[in-house]
Amino acid sequence: MNPKLIDIHTHSDNQSNEIISVKNTPPDFFGSSFYYSTGIHPWDVEKSDIKDLQILLKHSENANFIAMGEIGLDKIKAVDFQKQLKFFTGQLELAEKLNKPLIIHCVRTYSEILSVRKDYNKTPWIIHGFNANQDIAEKLISKNCYLSFGSLLFNEKSGAFKVFNQVNTDSIFLETDDSGKKIEEMYQMAARITNNATSHLKEKIYNNFVSCFKPCRDVKNTL
């Protein structure tokens, strides 16, 4: 078997015969012919109404809608935190009803994310752009969270770079996000950091994708 590369979170149209991408799309965009995620981003909650959550229900009619997100919490942006929390938990409830994994945006809110996880734990969470220490990584993994690593792997001073080699590969994904890098570059850097063959990481991350998503839906033959 030659497993496909997995790009778990991207804003690019990089689907191919060799790549499975999960494209992040706005909630009001419908009709994607590729795997995608959608949700109300924490930066956008002040211009949203809680009724907008009903829009997300319409996506459940599309078999390519495989994850909700990115959603989450952010203490850097000047956005009312209580409103962020309200939209976050509202979308978590909806994701659990729809049985969808989640792409989680987490900026300086790991303690809050871990606390909320205690009450919403029915589906897997994927922590997008993980960039923290080993202790936080272990706590998240123990709560059935995957860690997704992106372009910060290219920065040796980043938490992502420092922790990557210490994380069990059963709990990782790679992503391009909006970095402009190719997913092939992410795999090559990850292989260099871990001193593994790229083919080994391809197989591990592919298996993670199947493990994360197959219990939540009928995965199509693209897998």
The reported pLDDT for the residue numbered 217 is 55
C-alpha angle 39-116-108 in degrees, rounded to nearest 5:
75
The reported pLDDT for the residue numbered 155 is 97
Examine the pLDDT at 60 and tell me if it is beyond 50: yes
The reported pLDDT for the residue numbered 221 is 44
Examine the pLDDT at 220 and tell me if it is beyond 50: no
% residues pLDDT > 90 (the chain): 83
Q: What is the mean pLDDT of residues 43-62?
A: 90
The reported pLDDT for the residue numbered 1 is 67
How do residues 9-51 score in pLDDT, each as one tens digit?
A: 999 887 788 999 999 999 988 877 789 999 999 999 999 987 8
How do residues 70-80 score in pLDDT, each as one tens digit?
A: 999 999 999 99
**Residue-range domains of the chain with CATH:** 5-216 (3.20.20.140)
3-state secondary structure of 45: helix
Examine the pLDDT at 216 and tell me if it is beyond 90: no
**Cβ-proximal residues to 128 (8 Å cutoff; 6+ apart), any chain:** 8, 9, 69, 70, 72, 103, 104, 105, 106, 148, 150, 175, 177
C-alpha angle 92-38-99 in degrees, rounded to nearest 5:
45
Would you say 91 and 25 are in contact if contact means Cβ atoms under 8 Å apart? no
User: pLDDT-based confidence at 214, cuts 50/70/90?
Assistant: confident
Q: What is the mean pLDDT of residues 141-162?
A: 98
Q: Which of 26-30, 94-98, 203-207 has the lowest average pLDDT?
A: 26-30
